Amino acid sequence: CPTAADLRLANGTRVCAQLYADDSPYYDQCCAGEVLVVLPGSDVPYMPHGWSARTSSLVVGTKCELTVWSGKAKTGKLRRFSA
């Protein structure tokens, strides 16, 4: 997995979080498969099509916090992740 400080797009744009579709019990094989990039200031009340209940690992960038809810439209239990 990338480190929290290394989360950037190819053009240098800062990324707040990356969510990954594939996971593994072996650390060096985590953070694989499709990637969902979360940019700073994003407010997304619904997961993009095909991502609901699919994220298996994630990395949150420095100075960012990722807040997720168990239900749609920001309902249900909430959980916060940070670097």
For the stretch 27-57, pLDDT in tens is: 777 888 899 999 999 998 888 888 888 888 8
Closest CA to 37 of 60, 12, 62: 60
pLDDT beyond 90 at 18: yes
Report the Cα–Cα distance between both ends of the chain, in Å, rounded.
Answer: 13
Token pair 């800062």: residue: 14
Distance CA 57, CA 55 (A): 6
What pLDDT is attached to residue 64? Answer: 94
